[in-house]
Structure 1
Amino acid sequence: MMRNLPKLQPADRENKLIALHQRILSCRLCQERGYIATARPIVQGRANDRIFLIGQAPGHLSVARGVPFSGPGGRVLQKWLERAGFPPGYLHEHVYLSSLTHCDPGKNPKGSGDRRPSPQELALCKPFLEAELNLVQPRVVLLVGTMAIEAFLGKARLEDIIGTYQEIEKRLFLPLPHPSGVSRWLNAPEHQHLLAQALEHLARWRNEYGLQGGQAQPGSN
């Protein structure tokens, strides 16, 4: 899914990212093809962000506010970052926030939670996500939830992959469980232990690769 581009100067990367954001925000492909009623894509991030987070798709709260991960799941993710030693506000101030699709796919018609984007929607949005990764060139990529994990690392049980990481093309891919309250996976103590292992990796990288972007809070490691 990744394609390395020639190294660009910071100003060039920022300008290209601004242009890419404009293309994403103006995209209406899924709406035109009838996959969603209304396309309202959202983007957030900077060209110099060292951590890149990929989720499944924006939820309705995020779309309404125009900010990815602005609902309860975002608050959980911020708390996880703080457990790894990052300061309050780090998620939205220093992490590039993206997802497999940039529009809200809507509610699941068969039950609670959000609808999983279809393969067709994923394929339409894939070039945007690839372009974001290639322009931002992050050191660490957080894969949040089963769909994001499978898109980059293949199918695996959460029990077998949370707490591990893979280095691919000089990027560290760290799987994380979905922070949504709909998921019950984290209710098990052994699963909480696996999450703690994942956050230990992130805490180590924070120091090793200078990912801080601010002062850590005392006792947050």
Structure 2
Amino acid sequence: MRLCRRCQDQGYLAQALPVVSPVLHEGLIGGLMVIGQAPGLRSQQRGIPFGGPGGRILQSWLEQAGFPPGYLHQHAYLSSLTRCYPGPAPRGQGDRRPSPQELALCRPFLEAELSLLRPRVVLLVGVMAIEAFWGKVKLEEIIGTGRLEDTRRWLPLPHPSGVSRWLNTPRHREQLQRALALLADWRRELGL
């Protein structure tokens, strides 16, 4: 992954600088995997997936589900649909959404990670990550639900970004709390 320059070679990115997950350490295989859209600017600058404000919010959600402080970066395997910071959004709010072509170029890396790590729980963070595995859906219909496939559990979560306005609605915050309660149940059941 560190050597990949596919998006750069195809002209999607001026410079490919992939942010890759940390070196595997005990506890990652068969545990919790988090899949987001793409690295943000702070993640790119720091070389740490979910290394900005969204990562802090996601960690707080994990803590609400009973995971200890620091779990996100110490015990979860962090991944994304694409590996390089896509640049700012054209309208200046947030990051640019990777194109379907960019998603396709990175998908083999993600499939290999899922196959090698065999996570028991996968958190799909944000609309793009959810739709990559669930198909076209509305967050209102899916947040607060989970899915079991073979031995893997999938949990969709809204994007933990200050740019996202989805959580500004009380009903949506209630849906997030249902999702975190489900994650807490899975944590206890699976011993995560």
Q: Same fold (TM over 0.5)?
A: yes
How many Å apart are 1:111 and its aligned residue?
3.7
How many Å apart are 1:168 and its aligned residue?
1.7
1:77-96 alignment, distance < 5 Å:
77-96=58-77
Report the Cα distance in structure 2 between the residues aligned to 1:134 and 1:112, rounded to whole angstroms.
34
The alignment status of 1:136 with 2:113, answered yes or no, reads: no
The alignment status of 1:25 with 2:2, answered yes or no, reads: yes
How many Å apart are 1:183 and its aligned residue?
0.4
Select 2:54's aligned residue among 40, 57, 73.
Answer: 73
How many Å apart are 1:42 and its aligned residue?
1.4
Which residue of structure 2 lines up, in the alignment, with residue 55 of structure 1?
Answer: 36
How many Å apart are 1:82 and its aligned residue?
0.4
How many Å apart are 1:174 and its aligned residue?
0.0
Select 1:101's aligned residue among 82, 95, 114.
Answer: 82
Report the Cα distance in structure 2 between the residues aligned to 1:165 and 1:142, rounded to whole angstroms.
10
How many Å apart are 1:145 and its aligned residue?
0.2
Report the Cα distance in structure 2 between the residues aligned to 1:121 and 1:187, rounded to whole angstroms.
30
Report the Cα distance in structure 2 between the residues aligned to 1:169 and 1:113, rounded to whole angstroms.
36
Q: Deviation per CA, 1:191-211: give whole Å up to 9, x if none.
A: 110000000011011111010
Which residue of structure 1 lines up, in the alignment, with residue 18 of structure 2?
Answer: 41
The alignment status of 1:173 with 2:154, answered yes or no, reads: yes
Report the Cα distance in structure 2 between the residues aligned to 1:69 and 1:98, rounded to whole angstroms.
9
The alignment status of 1:119 with 2:108, answered yes or no, reads: no
The alignment status of 1:195 with 2:176, answered yes or no, reads: yes
Which residue of structure 1 lines up, in the alignment, with residue 164 of structure 2?
Answer: 183
Paired residue type of 1:44 = S
Report the Cα distance in structure 2 between the residues aligned to 1:162 and 1:185, rounded to whole angstroms.
11
Paired residue type of 2:167 = L
Identify which range, 173-182 or 42-51, moves more after superposition: 42-51
Paired residue type of 1:170 = T
Percent sequence identity over matched residues? Answer: 65
- Unmatched runs of 5 consecutive residues or more in structure 1: 1-23, 212-221
Report the Cα distance in structure 1 between the residues aligned to 2:56 and 2:104, rounded to whole angstroms.
29
Identify which range, 163-172 or 118-127, moves more after superposition: 163-172
Of structures 1 and 2, the larger Rg is shown by 1
How many Å apart are 1:32 and its aligned residue?
1.1
Which residue of structure 1 lines up, in the alignment, with residue 186 of structure 2?
Answer: 205
Report the Cα distance in structure 1 between the residues aligned to 2:73 and 2:21, rounded to whole angstroms.
8
Paired residue type of 1:167 = L
Aligned alpha-carbon RMSD (Å): 1.0
Q: Deviation per CA, 1:55-80: give whole Å up to 9, x if none.
A: 00001110110000010000000000
Which residue of structure 2 lines up, in the alignment, with residue 152 of structure 1?
Answer: 133
Report the secondary structure of 2:129's partner residue.
Answer: helix
- Unmatched runs of 5 consecutive residues or more in structure 2: none
Question: Where do 4+ consecutive residues of structure 1 move more than 4 Å?
Answer: none
Report the secondary structure of 1:155's partner residue.
Answer: coil
How many Å apart are 1:110 and its aligned residue?
2.8
Report the Cα distance in structure 2 between the residues aligned to 1:90 and 1:44, rounded to whole angstroms.
14
Which residue of structure 2 lines up, in the alignment, with residue 13 of structure 1?
Answer: none
